[in-house]
Amino acid sequence: MKEDRTNIISQLQSIDSPTLSNAIESFRIRPQTSGYAGYDLRCVYTELGPMVGYAVTCTAESTSEEAKAPRGLLPLWEALEAAPKPAVLVISDIGTDRTRSCHLGEVMATTAKALGAVGCVSDGGLRDILEIRQLGGFQLFCPGFTVSHGNPVICDVNVEVELSGLPIRPGELLHGDINGLLSVPENVLDSVVEEVEKVRNAEREILELARSPDFSLQALKDLQSRFRH
């Protein structure tokens, strides 16, 4: 069980994902081309603020008539109940026809929210989009929507998965908004909010200069030189 970081989670919920991404970069703990998902994982409810939660991962398929799941959704719900909160369902499609897959709708979303989830991320399809919006505070990231649930089967639970170039381990902290989805390394959590303020201050100075009648390329160079030092 992760230590209580309620205050940090609350602060992260007020930070947009690009600014957080920039702050994480400053720690130089991972390549700048890693740690975030591609643009096919689209934020569905753009009116909601940032989604922040610990990943509860699984693999799933819904386009094979032969697939079976003897215990149904129970293993996933057990993992979600045991996970630190807030939690985010992460469903990786392993079927043969991802464009026709469907891994979550109103009933699953309602159950997941009751067990402490604040959203679902999937590289497969989702459905019941209007009904899930009515739940309030439950975000979705996916490449698109599918009208039928097909033959939905949850396969492995609490396994490492990769969605749109983003590896996700069970328990990894995810942050996402209208701009996209990224992971937040555990070893920067205690200091990343402070780094966010440094990023915001630096960007504020550049924006103020760019909007000023005194703007010049030389002034921009001087300002950026000061940041480097």
Residues 121 and 180 in one domain: yes
Q: What is the pTM of this model?
A: 0.93
Interacting residues of 201 by C-beta distance below 8 A, sequence separation 6+:
none
pLDDT at residue 3 in the model: 61
203 part of a folded domain: yes
pLDDT at residue 72 in the model: 84
pLDDT at residue 1 in the model: 43
- The fraction of the chain above a pLDDT of 70, given in percent, is 97
1 part of a folded domain: no
Query: Which of the four pLDDT bands, split at 50, 70 and 90, describes residue 29?
Result: very high
Residues 183 and 200 in one domain: no
Strands 173-177, 51-61: pairing is antiparallel
CATH code for the domain in which residue 110 is found:
3.50.30.40
Give the tens place of pLDDT for each residue, 81-119: 999 999 999 999 999 999 999 999 999 999 999 999 999
Residues 199 and 86 in one domain: no
Q: How far apart are alpha carbons 158 and 142 in whole angstroms?
A: 19
Domain count, the chain: 2
Residues 181 and 223 in one domain: no
Model confidence at 36: pLDDT above 90: yes
pLDDT at residue 2 in the model: 59
Give the tens place of pLDDT for each residue, 169-189: 999 999 999 999 999 999 999
Residues 167 and 66 in one domain: yes
Q: Mean pLDDT, to the nearest integer, of 37-47?
A: 97
Residue ranges of alpha helices (H) inside 83-216 are 106-114, 129-135, 189-210
Residues 213 and 102 in one domain: no
Q: Do residues 195 and 26 make contact, with C-beta atoms less than 8 angstroms apart?
A: yes
Residues 155 and 215 in one domain: no
Residues 208 and 128 in one domain: no
Domain that holds residue 78: 6-187
47 part of a folded domain: yes
